[in-house]
Amino acid sequence: MTIDQAGLAVLSGGLIGLALGATGGGGSLLAIPLLVYLLGMKVQPATVLSLMVVAASALIGVYQRRKSGEVRVKPGLIFSVTGAAGAWAGALGLRFVRGETVLLLFSILMIVVAWRMWRSSGQTDSRFTGESCAERFPRSCWVKVSLIGMVVGLLTGFFGVGGGFVIVPALTLVLGFPMRMAVSTSLLIIALVAVGGLVGHLQTGQVDWPLIGLLLLGSAIGMTGGSWGAQQVSQATLAKGFAAIAILVAIVMIIHNGMKLVGGSV
């Protein structure tokens, strides 16, 4: 690895961490484009590294919130069991799909998530009038958590994303979690589900550990800067800014990979 490559790895990790620290999520959406286009990686190894960076960042968030009482361990663990199984299946399924197809589908996912972030940027909390699974956990909650966990896991393993954009709405709107509790619990789920995806990916190839170290170094620096920025700028402004960038990146990826799939020049 050259000095230039090492610098790009730290820069990529920094941008991912910056997005995570500033918006509380969404950094995983930038990971795949950065690793594929900036570092020149193939889709599958890029997905592995993305999962590792996302999982490590989520664990840091869980550690920071360990004394707040906002992390609900029981639903988080149940969510993670089916999520890890889904992530393992998604990771194995990635081997049978062409790289350009994965990136094209990922671009569409980026636009959907970014648009949702833009639309919900001004909301401060969720309103839920049904049964809450945050305090009590009857059988109906087990079923809901297990099914949602499987869906999130498939997305995590296949695309290498944390799935927080699905987990937080599911915890608030379906399971009745308060927003702050949902965000904190989602970090635990993201970290554990990502492990399932990693197991599936690590069965198919080797991992560049020095590159991972550089990405995590950059991510730690970026998270510090992002957390500071989150205190200086409103959350709505940060979310809209990130959403706009994500949509622009996604449009470029759709054009690039669409041309490849139809056999045109790039």
φ/ψ bin of 209: left (φ > 0), alpha (ψ from -120 to 50), beta (otherwise): alpha
Q: How many distinct structural domains can be found in the chain? A: 1
Q: Over the chain (266 residues), what is each successive 10-residue block's mean pLDDT?
A: 85 83 65 85 78 77 76 84 81 77 82 77 52 71 83 76 68 76 80 70 66 86 76 74 80 84 64
Is residue 197, in this structure, part of any structural domain at all?
yes
Residue 219 lies in a domain: yes
Return the pLDDT at 230.
65
Q: Is residue 266 domain-resident?
A: no
14 inside domain? yes
Cα–Cα dist 160/27, whole Å: 11
Determine the structural domain holding residue 255 and report its residue range: 3-261
138 in a domain, yes or no?
Answer: yes
Decide if 201 is inside a domain: yes
> Whole-model pTM?
0.67
For position 23, what pLDDT does the model report? 64
Query: Domain for residue 240, yes or no?
Result: yes
Residue 103, domain member (yes or no) = yes
